[in-house]
Every structure is written in structure tokens, then in C-alpha cells.
Amino acid sequence: MWSAGLGLFEGLAIENGRVISTGSQALKLKGEVIDLNGGFLMPGFIDGHAHPIFAGREARGPRVNNLQSVAEIKSEVARYAKENPNESWIIGGAYEAAIISGGDFDAHWLDEVVSDRPVVLHAVDHHTIWVNSKALEIAGINSNSKDPDGGTIARRADGSPKGTLREPIAFDLILKHAPADNVESDLRAIKYACDELVSAGVTTATECWVEPPMAEAYIAAAKSGTLTIEMHLAFLVTPQNWQEQVAYIQEMRAEISKLPKPNRLKANTIKFLTDGALSSGTAAILDPYLDNPNSTGLLIWDDENLLAALSAYDLLKFQVHVHAIGDGAIKQSLNIIEAMTKTNPSWDRRPVIVHAQLIEPTDLSRFKQLDVIANFQPLWTYLDPMNKELIEPRIGSERNNRQYQLRTLLDLETKISFGSDWPVTSHKPLDAIFIPVLRKVPESKSQPWNVNEAITLEESLTAYTANAAYQLFSESEIGKLESGMRANFVILNKSPFESNEVKIKSVWIDGLEIKVN
């Protein structure tokens, strides 16, 4: 139980990178003593769902995060274009789509600042891109282009493409023409991401969308020492490629398992994307969208193919990590996991459904019944602009307010773990841990959002430490500070149980203090 760390630690003794003793016993041992001076010691945060390389790739382009108007975004893109005249494509993110009602951004707005080179900006939901006319032209997207299967192209009234595209299959129409990411550029992204994560107190994380050459870049990072935190990879497979990917993924897993000790890299998980996002009207829901009564969103996999894919990887002892947001996608995922467990031999498989935003009431108890871990993004559990401006108009207030039933799931004894989904939202756990407790941003004056679903701070911290360690099959090594565990911990300036204005003072991995900025 990590609650030994509720500021109640009298002492913690470490030796050779491991905890050897806790409590008053630890104080009796000989050795160098560090006084916390009122600081709060707790296990290092474990991010159970993140995209560090995407964050690193995005950080290279224009910095449009948190900008609150189209004019500000345009001037940042203009600045970047001017300072980087040799960059053939300008790619960046992530812009706040909720600043425009409906979220359809126009290519012409970007054309006013860059028209000679393609520009592609990712929206914060990472299910949407906004591009300029040059990018549409290079991809050959015009009034005659049809929406790809599983994606959409927003249109103007005359049918011409507006400049906003949704879902990866649609982005691909454009991004396949851009220079490919390579091991070298991804190594820089990994270095950036590790520095950012450590500074935030994250000592173990996940890379939940691995496609070539990302695993190769991680192997290079592990060998060169660039990988400073433990990283668990989840390979993305699609309805089209899951069969041909089996050999490659197994090869990568084997190569990673052979890396010299201590090996910070693990690769035992497969990521499945079963729907899109509510904010873009692409999450698969059981009842139609209010703004588009002909649509129940996008169900990316058909049942038969999803069952075949899950079963095949499960037989190879890969954990499944399923993105499901709408109640339709969550029901499908639970059904398929149930069907798979009935036919495949039983083992400690720990399936994960990530996001789990809108759950049909009769499905709530199935998480525990099927031993499915629900991985939530704590920073999303308040009425933020996305929920208010983009989601509520599409699904109505009843369904909108029913999102993120953390209390109900915990009361049903569901295992809940946390992840940031960085760069979709902040990777900093201290920005997030109070939100599911208060169901609002601590300093804001707004009303809590469906306060019946609030959880305790201890539950919130446990989801970001011990339960995330369980999700990663690492509960005997990390996530708690007990004798024998790795000495991965953070020291906060004060107890989060006394104040929500806490800061990271220092971060320790395997008993060594890591310099943070």
C-alpha cells in the first residue's frame, strides 16, 4: 500500500538503487541522511498512456499550444516559417479546436501566412488536423475527393475541402507526402520527452502508438543512454495491417528483451484504436449524434476482425491496450475481450481500455467482471472547453455529464490507472491529480462537474502510481515504496493533502537523484 507515503514516512533507507527499509527502522541504519525539510516523499509517477515521441516531434514545429485565437496561431506559424526557411513542410501542434464553433478550421486562414509550403497542424484531440491549401494540393484533395473509409474531410458549402481532416486514415492522405520521421529525428524526440517527463516527476511511462521507426529509435536510445526513464511500448495495429505486423512486432520484442541490463525498455503491449473522439463526432456511440442524426460515429474495426486480431496477439502473450471512447466502442471492446477470454487459454492478461469516457450503464460492472483495467486521463475529468463547446452540442447534456464515471467504477472494484495522453494534454501529474478529486481545476471558480463521480486524492495518486505499475506488470518493482522495490520516487515541496500548490523538488530513479530543470 503506497499510503505509507502519505507524508507519514519517518524514514526511507535505500541501498544499491532499492528500498531496503521504511519507517522508524530506516532511521536506525547507518549512512548518509537527507532531511526532507517538510517535503513530501512519494513513489515516482507512472504514466500509463502517453505518446512521448509525438510530443517530441510536435515540439520541433510551431508552438501553437494554448493559443486562444486563430490570429495568434497564424502569427506563430508565420514566425516559425520565417525562422525556418529551409523546412520543406511545416508540421506542428497542438491547437485548441474549441476556439472555433464546430472545430472546422479553414485552409485559407493558414494560406494568408504560408502559401508556398505545406502546413499541417494537429489539434489537441489528435484526431484532427488543419492544413493549408498547399498541403491539400500536394495530396490531390479537391471537391471530387471522397472521404476515406474511417476518416472525414470537412467541406465548404460548395463541396470543396475546407482544410480540416479527421482521423489518422485521412491525415495519411496528406502526411504520406511529408518527409518521413527517421531514427535520428526520433532519437531527438525521445531525448526531449525524457527530459520533460523526468522534470514532471514521471519515472516510468508508456509509448502507446508505436509504428516504425519508433521502436528502432527506442532501441537506439536504450543503447546510447538517451533513454533515462523506463518506457513501455505499445505497438499500433490496424484492421488492415495487424496480420502482416505480427512478425515485425515479435522481432522487435525479442530484440528489446535482449538489451543489456538494466534494461529500461519493455515491449509487451498492442494498441488497438476502436473509435475516434467525441469532440470530432467520430467516437462510436450507441445513439446518434444530435448535430448529425444519421451518424453514430466511426467504429474502426468490425467485430470479427477485432476478435481475430485480439486473440492472435493474446495467444502470443501480448497485453491488449484498446482505445475506446464512445459507449458503442466500449461495448464492442468489452464484448470482444469477453469472447477472446472464452476461447484463448487463461493467463494474467490485464487488458486495458483507455479513455472509457462514455459507458453504457449496463457495461459499468463488466470492467471488473472481465478484469479490464480502465485507464483514464485525470486532466480531462472536468467541464473543460472541449467538453462544453465541442462535445455537449454533439451528444447533449445528459450523455456529456455522464462522462468519466470514476467513482462508480471504483465502487464496483474496477482497477483504475491514469495516463496523461501527452501531448494531447499536459504530461505533468501535478497539473492533473486534483481534478478528478474536485471535478474542476483547483483554482477556478466554476462549479464542479458531476461531483458524484469525484474520487479521493489517495485514489487519484494510487491510479498514477501503484495501479499504473500493475497495468505495466511491474507492481513488484515500482509504484510503491516498500522494502525490495526500486528506489524510484519524487519529493514534493509540501504535502498534496495539505495544499494543491505543490511542486516537484527532486526526482530519484534507482536511488539516484536526476537533475531536473
Task: Give the Cα separation of 22 and 12 in Å (integer).
Answer: 4
E-assigned strand segments in 49-147: 90-95, 119-123, 128-131
Task: Give the Cα separation of 395 and 328 in Å (integer).
Answer: 13
Reduced to 3 states, what is the DSSP secondary structure of residue 481? coil
Per-residue binding letters, 196-235, with Zn ion (x by CB under 5 A):
----------------------------------------
Residues 96-135 within binding reach of Zn ion (CB under 5 A): none
Q: Which residue is nearest to Zn ion (CB)?
A: 421
Pick the closer one to Zn ion by CB: 96 or 421: 421
Whole-number minimum distance, CB 228 to Zn ion, in Å?
22
Whole-number minimum distance, CB 435 to Zn ion, in Å?
18
Do residues 386 and 279 make contact, with C-beta atoms less than 8 angstroms apart? yes
Pick the closer one to Zn ion by CB: 233 or 504: 233
Pick the closer one to Zn ion by CB: 39 or 419: 419
Terminal Cα-to-Cα distance of the chain (whole angstroms): 30
Pick the closer one to Zn ion by CB: 375 or 387: 375
Pick the closer one to Zn ion by CB: 26 or 468: 468
Number of residues that bind Zn ion (CB under 5 A): 1
Pick the closer one to Zn ion by CB: 107 or 267: 267
Pick the closer one to Zn ion by CB: 127 or 394: 127
Per-residue binding letters, 380-419, with Zn ion (x by CB under 5 A):
----------------------------------------
Task: Give the Cα separation of 290 and 275 in Å (integer).
Answer: 18
Whole-number minimum distance, CB 445 to Zn ion, in Å?
30
Whole-number minimum distance, CB 48 to Zn ion, in Å?
11
Vertex 124 angle, CA 121 and 128, to 5°: 60
* Using rule CB under 5 A, residue 421 touches Zn ion: yes
Three cell numbers written together for 108: 485559407
Stretch that binds Zn ion, among 21-29, 182-190, 340-348, 421-429 (CB under 5 A): 421-429
Whole-number minimum distance, CB 54 to Zn ion, in Å?
9
Q: Left (φ > 0), alpha (ψ -120 to 50) or beta: where does 450 sit? A: left
For helices 183-199 and 52-60, give the axis angle rounded to 10 degrees.
110
Whole-number minimum distance, CB 49 to Zn ion, in Å?
6
Whole-number minimum distance, CB 419 to Zn ion, in Å?
8
Whole-number minimum distance, CB 421 to Zn ion, in Å?
4
Pick the closer one to Zn ion by CB: 55 or 222: 55
Do residues 287 and 313 make contact, with C-beta atoms less than 8 angstroms apart? no
DSSP-assigned states of every residue in 127-145: SEEEE-HHHHHHHT--TTP
* Using rule CB under 5 A, residue 47 touches Zn ion: no
Stretch that binds Zn ion, among 188-196, 335-343, 356-364, 420-428 (CB under 5 A): 420-428
Checking DSSP bridges between strand 373-376 and strand 416-418, what pairing results, if any? Answer: parallel
- Element of type H or E holding 322: strand 319-324
Pick the closer one to Zn ion by CB: 375 or 405: 375
Whole-number minimum distance, CB 377 to Zn ion, in Å?
8
* Residue in 433, 453, 425 with CA at minimum distance from that of residue 500: 433
Residues 429-488 within binding reach of Zn ion (CB under 5 A): none
Pick the closer one to Zn ion by CB: 58 or 421: 421
Whole-number minimum distance, CB 273 to Zn ion, in Å?
9
3-state helix, strand, coil in the chain (%, to 5): 35, 20, 45
* Residue in 138, 140, 142, 147 with CA at minimum distance from that of residue 170: 147
Q: What residue ranges bind Zn ion (CB under 5 A)?
A: 421
